[in-house]
């Protein structure tokens, strides 16, 4: 996926919240936990947008310490239940209800942690799902399954549209 500064899917993925654990007490940030005017305590787990969490996760508390402001925790969309479901039957997983920009989030998360195993597993799931998407997009006599369509993440919906449009154009070209 090419990302662009103005790509709405990229902006939405960057705004997706991920769980983070604070490694120090920070005065005045209690509003992140719903406690305005108070400090956020060391060890507090708070969900922050990915754009902010990724910056805080690499910032060191001081030059003498290699400790970071926060630790990123495993987001729910990458827990073992979701990953096992994708390994078992990728096409049956409702990615849109898990996170609407699943592949974009996977790309960002995997690049932050250099997680090749996650990339390979998601790549295989994407191939399995792309096969189903292509079947629906190219079979005009088959009724489109609304449950399947609503389970697609935003990139898969784009893939469906491109595949469907390509099939229609090819059919028109062959008939002419």
For residue range 16-54, what is the model confidence (pLDDT) as tens digits? 999 999 998 989 888 888 889 899 999 999 999 999 999
pLDDT (0 to 100) of residue 140: 60
Domain count, the chain: 2
The model carries a pTM of 0.80
Kindly report the CATH number assigned to the domain that includes residue 168.
1.20.58.2050
CA 40 to chain CA centroid, nearest Å:
27
- Interatomic CA distance for residues 168 and 161, integer angstroms: 11
Task: Say whether both 39 and 119 belong to one domain.
Answer: no
pLDDT tens for 55-71 read 988 887 777 777 888 99
Q: CA distances (Å), 86 to each of 13, 158, 163, in order?
A: 20, 20, 22
**Does position 8 have pLDDT exceeding 60, yes or no?**
yes
Task: Say whether both 89 and 173 belong to one domain.
Answer: yes
The per-residue pLDDT of the chain, averaged, comes to: 88
Segments forming the whole domain that contains residue 109:
77-176
Q: Counting Cβ atoms within 10 Å, is residue 97 exposed (0-12), middle (13-18) or buried (19+)?
A: exposed
pLDDT bin (cut points 50, 70, 90) of residue 166 is: very high
Task: Say whether both 166 and 95 belong to one domain.
Answer: yes
């Amino acid at each position: 996926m090419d990302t662009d500064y103005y790509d709405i899917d990229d902006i939405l993925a960057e705004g997706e919240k991920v769980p983070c654990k604070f490694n120090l007490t920070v005065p005045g940030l209690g509003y992140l936990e719903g406690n305005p005017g108070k400090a956020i305590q060391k060890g507090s787990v708070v969900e922050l947008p990915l754009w902010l969490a990724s910056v805080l996760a690499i910032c060191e508390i001081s030059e003498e310490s290699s400790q970071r402001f926060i630790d990123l925790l495993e987001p729910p969309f990458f827990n073992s239940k979701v990953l096992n479901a994708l390994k078992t039957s990728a096409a049956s997983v409702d990615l849109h209800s898990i996170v609407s920009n699943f592949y974009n989030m996977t790309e960002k998360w995997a690049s932050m942690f250099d997680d090749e195993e996650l990339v390979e597993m998601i790549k295989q799931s994407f191939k399995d799902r792309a096969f189903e998407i292509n079947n629906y997009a190219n079979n005009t006599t088959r009724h489109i399954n609304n449950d399947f369509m609503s389970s697609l993440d935003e990139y898969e919906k784009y893939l469906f549209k491109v595949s469907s449009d390509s099939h229609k154009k090819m059919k028109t070209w062959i008939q002419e």
